Each structure stands twice: as structure tokens, then as C-alpha cells.
A and B are shown apart, each in its own frame.
Chain A
């Protein structure tokens, strides 16, 4: 997959008025600057603007970020800088924003430049290494004079009210000989809107000075971090913020950390395209692409192998990095810092030890272990993870997954619920007084689905009314006689896990006080609901269904499995296919009969899957029949414990749909707390069961589900052992097909390079299950309980599970 460029570093001048001895442009391995024009020419400016605009249009980019860079970009002079800004603005599509910046040493920054930047909307970043002593260690003129006072004058100009909005921040290159506290204090004195600290560029060929210490760069930065924390984190520091963000699973703010793909390209003064600027530190010619603005489009540059290498996330890292616990935060460090002659970039960063200490220490400082607010997790044992890795999971294992899911739902509810006022207060009270009653409601699969919709609403007007329904259901289960205001929707009061009471009237989805609100009150033998018009309804405990009271109906099956046929919940429409309406009595009887027969088959032939289903599948949501009678079924990542199924023609196919979809449910619950692969890997892979290519998660989910599909057909083949006929041939054909598909998919997963150690464990576990010799069929030579009709398979050829595209 091509990642379009959105960041462009435009080199407007290739020389500098300082002679800093740590500069990667002039003092490191690459010497290409010697052959380049000093200043960018008009033709290059115009063509570069054209290429950027062409790219923005082709990829419908909402914004592009252009950094005017050097050498020293102010040497390009006001007229040239004006032309760059004007050409870019003139050529970019109207709906594409331009974020234009210049990064300078500040020595030449004066009012004339500031006026120009104010007019053209160019923000200014300044390089400054700290206090005078620190700055003068490297940042001097060629004759040895200090640049410090000139840089400070530039910053003072940017701090004046007229130019303050142009002030983007300060960039400081670390030298461990400098006093970290003095450096931070000096930078903070200049009141920058943002700071960043850069590790000095180094490689395994040219390692950074260490003074014989193990991780001096981490120690230096951690001293800064401690000081910064004590001062109340007065300004954002990009490195520190990136570490905290990546530890929390969010994107990094800098290419030197995290696994986010690079979308940056450099355009030199002669119009050549180059890769990351920092590669100049690796070897002479390292950043070259062979492309230029006149002959090549940016799409061509994006397909350059060097560019792709920096976009492949975890898969692009060394084996040592992929196995590292902090890889998501460090991302292998800056690409250039991994270079070693002979091994190329297939190494950890030369700052690996520093990054490890820095990240783990900040992690512990920012989020110290607090048992009372322990983070979410499944608490799976190693043995349980092994079961799941092989595609299975006994009752205890799936109960552990369910416990993690309950905790997850409770956290989501705590994130959205407090805004609901009295209903939240009641629920929080019940949570302490009657925790089992609350949890019985919160294990309902669609509570999480609703909470996630609220979080994703983004409008600030999320529908919080269902929280009152949850609180009311919990209050009833707790035997409380408290009055609870509940919404009336579509003329009904809904009580999740219990049922729906038709009270008449339309109601609204967002009832206002006294409008579409009923009052529910529990009691020892019954509960009552007072409708908005004043009518009162009484529902006795154990009252059979009637024209007003529609209870949730549960099917009790042998072996301790009780499952609700959920045909009431307004949030059950969480699967890819439309949900069925309330089942009639006849439809209910058909479902019950099919379930009994399918369950008998699953228990007998697929006990390694049935045990988990009994422990974790509490809801089946009937779906409407698929087009042309196709079998449809789905699981939803946000609804653990539920599967959606259109009742198929035969019980064996229902058993197949159950085990197939519950595989998605189990794996989704694992993925909620564990990384099995690089989530940021943008590649698509061949999935043998589909015409289109799939992302890693889809491929993993499909493989996991088809492992169970393969075992299902293996049991059918064993049942037909020695028999001929259409059904037997169909079973043999299906087994060969799904075994082959699953086998190839496991190969793809294990070879993709993007699996975490746990992901590889799952890959090898699935392989072991697939290669396992068939177990003797329970019950000896018993034949299938019904004729196995040649039926089209579910998800593989029909419905990919909702939210879990296989």
C-alpha cells in the first residue's frame, strides 16, 4: 500500500553561515552538498510546487506540511522564500491546507524576514543547544565566534507580540557534556511554545561519545525530564510527549520514535528527491533516490524501496527490535541510527540502551503501579494462552476472557456514564451494594457496543439514555424498590437482559424530562412502570410473555449452556447483516430445535470448541436471511459474547456457524489486550478464501476461524468414513479446500515479519492444531445426526463478520 507524502522538506539553500561541528549535512558521511547549487532556482521551486500539488490532488490530502530547510534557509533571501510560499499556495488544491515552516539557526533573522513570514504565514523554528556554554560548544561561526547572542536576539524578536504567532519552538541537540538542567532552564527562559531534544546523529560505524557510561543519553534526558516534571511540564517536549503517547498506543510526534510510517520526502536545491535527511549521517549518498522533480512524480518516489522500508513498521525492524517489549515506543529509533556497514539498517539503534532506559523510566514515572487503579487485562495464564494459540480454549480460559471483557465494559461505562447524572449515580451505588446484579447486566454484549458508540460520537451529544435502562435492569435484579426514570422509545421501555414492555405512545430516542420518560419501580413480586401519560403497568416476576411484556427468551441446553435469543435489544444491530425482528412462536420453536441438534453435534464432535462456547457465548442474535438463501453469520468486535446468525437450513451448518463465529469472538477478546501483530502495518495480504487482499487483522481472524471450519469438516469426513454419496463427497471436498486455505494463510502469517512473539506463538499453535492427526470420533461409529446437505459455507463465501473482516 502506498503511503502518500504529506511532509516535504524543501532545501532552499545548501550552505550555512555557521560551522557547527556536529552538523549532519556537512560534517558526517554524506558529501552531496558539495555538488549542489547553493540556492534553489526558480524552475525547481515551480516544479516542486507543481509536484506537491499534483500529489495532494491525487491523494485528496487535507493538508501538506512543508519545511523550508538548509543549510541555512535564510541565506536563500526574502525574494526566493516569497516565491516558494506563493507558488505553493497558488498551486495546491483549494481544499488542501498548507502548513509552512522554516527551520533556521536564527543568526540572520531580522524584522524584514519576520514581516515576510507574517505576511506569508510561515512559522519559525530555531536551533539552540541551551545556555551560552552549551550552545557555544558546537554552534559557532567558521572563525570560532559564538552565535549565541545573535540567536537570542532572533528569539527575542519572535517573542514580541507582533511576531509571537510565528514562534514555532526550539530544537536542541544533546551533548552529554552540557549541564541538562542549565540547558532546560535556558530554553524555558525563552518562553517557547514547544521544545524538542535531538540525539546527536550517530551510527554503529560512528557511535556517539559515551564517557564510558552505559546509557548517558538516557540519563541526560531523564534529568531534563525530572526537572521538567517538577516545573509542572510548562511547555510540550516532543520526545517526552511521544513516549507517553506511544506507551498509550497512540501515534508518535516524531520520526525518531514509534512505529508510524514515514510520509516525508526531501527536495534538494537541484530538485532531486532524497529520503530522510538524517540518512546523510549513514554513508555517502545514503539518502539518494535517483529521482527528481522534473522527471518523476511523488508517487514514483513513494514506491522507492528505501521509502517503503521506512513505512513497514514492525516488519521493517531487526529481529532483536521485534522481540523488544518497548518496540512500540522506540520504533527501533531513528532509521539512520541503525546503520552498520555490512548489516545495513537491520540493527537496533546505536542508542538502543539509552532508548530502553529512557522509555521504561518515563513509563514508571508517568504511570506508577497503582493496584487500586490497575490497568485492564485478561489475566490469562500461560497455559490458557497456549490453548487459545492452538485455536481452542476450555471453560476456564473463556471465563478468563469474559472477566477481562467485563472489566473492559466497566471501564468504558465509567468513561461515558458520569454525564448521565442520576442514572449513573444509581448504577454506581448498586455497583457497591449489589455487584452481582450490576455485572449480570454489564455482561450483556451490547452494553459495550453502545458505550463505544457514545465514545465515538464526537458531537458531544451522545445518546446516554440507555444508561438509565442499564441502571433500571440492575436495580430490578438487585431487588431494589427505587424509582428509576427510564426512556420510552418506540412506545416501549427496554430493560437489557430482561425484556421490553410496550407502554404505548411514540417516545423519542432522547427523552426530555417529563416527555418520553416513564418511571419504573421494583418490588418483591413484580415491578411497575408508570408511562408518560400516567398509565401504570405491572409485570410479575416469572410472568409469561403477553401482548405488552416481551421477555428475553433463553434456551437452556445440556451441558450447562444457556443462551439468549436476542431479538429485542435496540443495540443488537451491531453485526454486518440486518437483525431479525421479534421471533414468532413458530420461529422460536425452529430455533430451539436447531440449537439443540447443533449443540449435540458440537458437544460430540467438537468438544474442544464446545466448552468455550458454553462458557462465553451468552447471546445469539437472529439475523435476517441472506440474499438468495445464502448463509449469513457475524461476530462483532465490540460485542463479546454475542454472535449474529440467520438460522440455516440444517443443524450441522448451524454448528459450523457457531464454532466459526465464536472463534472471532475469542480472538477479538485476545486482541483487546494483546498485540499479536504490528497494528500499524499497512500491508495487505493474500487471503486464500477471498478475491481481495486483507489487512493483517483480517487475515489473522480469518485463519483462526477457518481452523475451526477445517476441524468441523474433518469430523464430517470421519462420520462418512467408508461411505459414498453426494454428502460424503461434499464433506471431503470441503475439508481439502479449507485445510489448504488455512495452511496457506498460516504460512503467510508466519512469514509476514510483522508478528509479535505472542503472534508467532498463535501462528505455530494454529499450525500444530492443523497438522494434528484426526482424533477418533466420540461415540464410536455414530453417523451424522442428519443428512449433511451440500450447503454453501458461511462467512468464507458469504458474510465476513461485522467489524471482523475475515
Chain B
């Protein structure tokens, strides 16, 4: 068992991505765009309320 501090640069056996976009470039996309693209992964924004479709023939 490892019960000691390990601070060496992590040997990279973990997940690898083909296109690693730097954090600052990701941040430039803005929170709204970033989270919109991750909608499947985030808890529902309507807090349990079901979104509904609005009447077509009025505005």
C-alpha cells in the first residue's frame, strides 16, 4: 500500500486525448458555450420542471 506522498510528475498512464485543448483556450469559449455543449452531462437546468412547447399561432 502507498501511504506516502507522491509528488512526482504523474506517470501518464491515465486517460489520453488526441486533441488536448489548453485550459485558457477552453475558457475563451465562455461558460455559456462550454456548458451548453455538455448539456447531457449536467443536471437539468429546469429543476424538475418539464420544458414545454409554446403555442405556434401567437407570439
- The chain A residues found within 8 Å of chain B, CB to CB, are 3, 6-7, 9, 65, 67, 69, 101, 103, 125, 168-171, 194-196, 198, 238, 248-258, 260-264, 276-278, 331, 334, 371-376, 379, 399-400, 402-408, 410-418, 424, 427-428, 431-432, 434-440, 443, 452, 455-456, 476-479, 498-499, 522, 527, 539-545, 549, 551, 553-556, 562, 588, 592, 637-638, 671-675, 679-680, 682
- A428 close to B27 (CB less than 8 A): yes
Quick check: A67 and B1 within 8 Å, CB to CB? no
Where the two chains meet, the residues of B that have a C-beta atom closer than 8 Å to any C-beta of A are: 1-12, 14-27, 29, 31, 34-43, 45-46, 50-59
What 4 pairs across the A-B complex have the smallest Cβ distances?
A: A251-B51, A440-B10, A249-B39, A414-B26
Which chain B residues border A544 with CB–CB below 8 Å?
3-4
The contact sample of 16 A-B pairs, CB cut-off 8 A, is: A67-B58, A250-B51, A258-B53, A260-B51, A261-B50, A263-B50, A277-B55, A431-B22, A436-B9, A539-B5, A541-B4, A541-B8, A542-B6, A549-B5, A551-B3, A551-B5
Closest-CB distance, A641 to chain B (whole angstroms)? 10
A551 CA / B6 CA spacing, docked (Å): 9
Q: Are A455 and B42 in contact (CB under 8 A)?
A: yes
User: How distant is the Cα of A96 from the Cα of B46 in the complex, in angstroms?
Assistant: 18
- Point out the residues of chain A lying under 8 angstroms from B46, CB to CB: 251
**Most A-side CB within 10 Å, residue of B26, B27, B43:** B26
Q: How many A-B residue pairs have CB under 8 A?
A: 241
Please give me the residue from chain B that is nearest to A554 by CB atom. Answer: B2
With CB as the reference atom, state the residue of chain A lying closest to B1: A555
B43: nearest chain-A partner, CB-CB: A456
CA distance A262 to B51 in the complex (A): 9
Residues of B within 8 A of A540 (CB): 5
User: Measured between alpha carbons, how far is A543 from B39 in the docked complex, in Å?
Assistant: 43
C-alpha spacing A67/B57, complex, angstroms? 10
Contact between B50 and A682, CB atoms less than 8 A apart: yes
Given the complex of chains A and B, what is the CA–CA distance between A69 and B6 in angstroms?
70
Q: How far is the CA of A7 from the CA of B29 in the complex (A)?
A: 36
> Which residues of chain B are within 8 angstroms of A415 by Cβ–Cβ distance?
27, 31, 34-35
Instruction: Tell whether, in the assembled complex, residue A168 and residue B54 are in contact, meaning their CB atoms are under 8 Å apart.
Output: no
**Given A255-B54, A541-B5, A543-B4: A431 and B41 interface contact (C-beta under 8 Å):** no
Determine the distance from Cα of A258 to Cα of B43 in the docked complex, in whole angstroms: 20
Whether the pair A411, B37 counts as a contact (CB closer than 8 A) is yes
Chain B residues contacting A171 (CB-CB under 8 Å) are 57-59
Residues of B within 8 A of A194 (CB): 59
Set B15, B42, B55: member contacting A264, Cβ < 8 A:
B55
B58 in contact with A553 (CB, 8 Å): no
Q: Is the CB of B1 within 8 A of A592?
A: yes
Chain A residues lying within 8 Å of B39, measured Cβ to Cβ, are: 248-250
Contact A260 B37 (CB under 8 A): no
Interface pair A437/B9, CB less than 8 Å apart: yes
Q: Which residues of B sit under 8 angstroms from A168, Cβ to Cβ?
A: 59
